[in-house]
């Protein structure tokens, strides 16, 4: 793989080309074992984690949470850049690079992006997308209940990509595992990367994540495709990708007779429904528009798909 970037300095222009050294094969070491371990031995230690065989991402370490020991699956790769001095000598770190000379230097400091999987936010990755440079780390932190971070292709959002990484199921019942289980990977490409949760039904509800999405292949499009291919074909306010708008005011509202004395006038945009008396209580149901649901952040653990409510007594028929 080749990476290219341009850097302009006031003192001397540089031509920079990033190169990743020794990406594969990597020595696979664990904190439980001395020396090298085979891929099979490593996978036996971290159940369900798939290292993948592509060079887009590298699984660096995994931790089951609750202050357990971290297992290293791959050594973190040092990303370097080739630097060529321009018309003047250039200072690189503590060294001076002569005019026109070329050297290899360590690339800039890497960033670590933390991504929460599930939890109080619902069936989502938080944030849903990140911008990462080659060499950056992405740490998935698994909240309630039991989720995965599984790599897919853009075209098939809810299908594991051949050769892609997979965190495996990381259980955290009701967020009782603290610190939460976590899996870290290193980004080794500038191309967009796509992930989803393979827990049954979650991807079809829009539980997806992307790294370096583009305008043509955005996180929103990827999420909508996941729902269209594996869900009901439409989003919901819970996943933040609704394709429906709140219904317009029903004509029945305008034609309704004046409210009884003392009753509260029905707000515009409300669709009336009908109820049944069961065991002394009025039971009714109404279809709400996407905008009627509370914000994702306001929905607690397990509170997906709607909420209970009541009518003010003034809105009831006399």
Residue 120 lies in a domain: yes
pLDDT tens, 8-30?
A: 222 233 333 444 443 333 333 33
Rounded to whole angstroms, what are the CA distances from 118 to 141, 199, 232?
A: 9, 11, 21
User: What is the tally of structural domains in the chain?
Assistant: 1
Residue 66 pLDDT > 70:
yes
Q: List pLDDT tens digits, range 40-55.
A: 444 444 668 988 888 8
Which pLDDT band holds residue 306 (cuts at 50, 70, 90)?
Answer: very low
Q: Is 266 exposed, middle or buried (0-12, 13-18, 19+ CB in 10 A)?
A: middle
Query: Could you tell me which residues come within 8 angstroms of residue 12 by beta carbon, excluding any fewer than 6 positions away?
Result: 85, 86, 87, 88, 89, 90
Res 312 pLDDT > 80? no
pLDDT at 94: 62
Answer yes or no: is 198 within a domain.
Answer: yes
Which pLDDT does position 246 carry in this prediction?
Answer: 36
Residue 309 lies in a domain: no
pLDDT of residue 236: 38
Other Cβ atoms closer than 10 A to 65? 17
What number is the average pLDDT over the span 246-250?
39
CB-based burial, 287-299: b 16+ in 10 Å, e otherwise: eeebeebeebeeb
pLDDT of residue 177: 96
Distance of CA 85 to the CA centre of its chain: 40
Q: Is residue 315 part of a domain?
A: no
pLDDT of 95 strictly over 50: yes
- 203: helix, coil or strand? helix
What percent of the chain is modeled with pLDDT above 90? Answer: 45
SS3 content of the chain, % helix, strand, coil (to 5): 15, 25, 60
Is 259 part of any domain? Answer: no
pLDDT band at 231 (very low <50, low <70, confident <90, very high): confident
The mean per-residue pLDDT over the stretch 118-125 comes to: 96
Tell me what the pLDDT averaged over the chain comes to: 72
- The per-residue pLDDT for range 161-180, each reduced to its tens digit, is 999 999 999 999 999 999 99
We report the CATH number of the domain holding residue 152 as 2.60.40.420
Amino acid 286: pLDDT: 54
Q: Residue 285 falls within a domain, yes or no?
A: no
Does residue 19 fall inside a structural domain? no
The DSSP secondary-structure symbol of 39 reads H
Q: Residue 89 pairs with which residues in a beta bridge?
A: none
Alpha helix locations (H) across the chain? 39-45, 219-230, 251-255
Asked if residue 189 is part of any domain, the answer here is: yes
Full residue range of the structural domain in which residue 69 is found: 24-75+109-230
pLDDT of residue 275 exceeding 70, the answer is no
């Amino acid at each position: 793989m080749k990476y290219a970037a341009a850097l302009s300095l006031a003192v001397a222009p540089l031509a920079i080309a990033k190169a990743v050294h020794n990406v594969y094969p990597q020595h696979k070491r664990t904190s439980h074992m001395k020396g090298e371990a085979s891929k099979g031995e490593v996978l036996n230690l971290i159940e369900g984690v798939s290292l993948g065989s592509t060079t887009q991402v590298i699984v660096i370490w995994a931790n089951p949470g609750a202050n357990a020991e971290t297992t290293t699956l791959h050594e973190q790769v040092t990303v370097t850049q080739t630097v060529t001095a321009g018309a003047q000598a250039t200072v690189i770190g503590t060294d001076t690079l002569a005019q026109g000379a070329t050297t290899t230097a360590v690339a800039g400091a890497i960033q670590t992006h933390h991504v929460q999987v599930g939890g109080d936010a619902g069936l989502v990755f938080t944030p849903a997308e990140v911008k990462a440079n080659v060499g950056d780390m992405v740490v998935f932190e698994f909240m309630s209940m039991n989720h995965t971070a599984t790599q897919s292709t853009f075209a098939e959002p809810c299908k594991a990509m051949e050769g892609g990484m997979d965190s495996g199921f990381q259980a955290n019942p009701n967020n009782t595992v603290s610190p939460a289980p976590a899996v870290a990977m290193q980004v080794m490409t500038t191309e967009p990367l796509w992930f989803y949760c393979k827990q049954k039904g979650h991807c079809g509800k829009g539980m997806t994540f992307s790294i370096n999405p583009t305008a043509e292949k955005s996180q929103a499009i990827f999420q909508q495709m996941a729902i269209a291919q594996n869900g009901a074909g439409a989003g919901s306010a819970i996943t933040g990708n609704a394709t429906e708008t709140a219904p317009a005011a029903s004509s029945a509202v305008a034609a309704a007779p004046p409210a009884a004395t003392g009753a509260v006038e029905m707000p515009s945009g409300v669709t009336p429904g009908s109820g049944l008396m069961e065991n002394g209580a009025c039971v009714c149901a109404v279809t709400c528009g996407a905008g009627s649901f509370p914000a994702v952040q306001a929905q607690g653990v397990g509170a997906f798909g709607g909420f209970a409510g009541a009518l003010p007594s003034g809105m009831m028929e006399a």
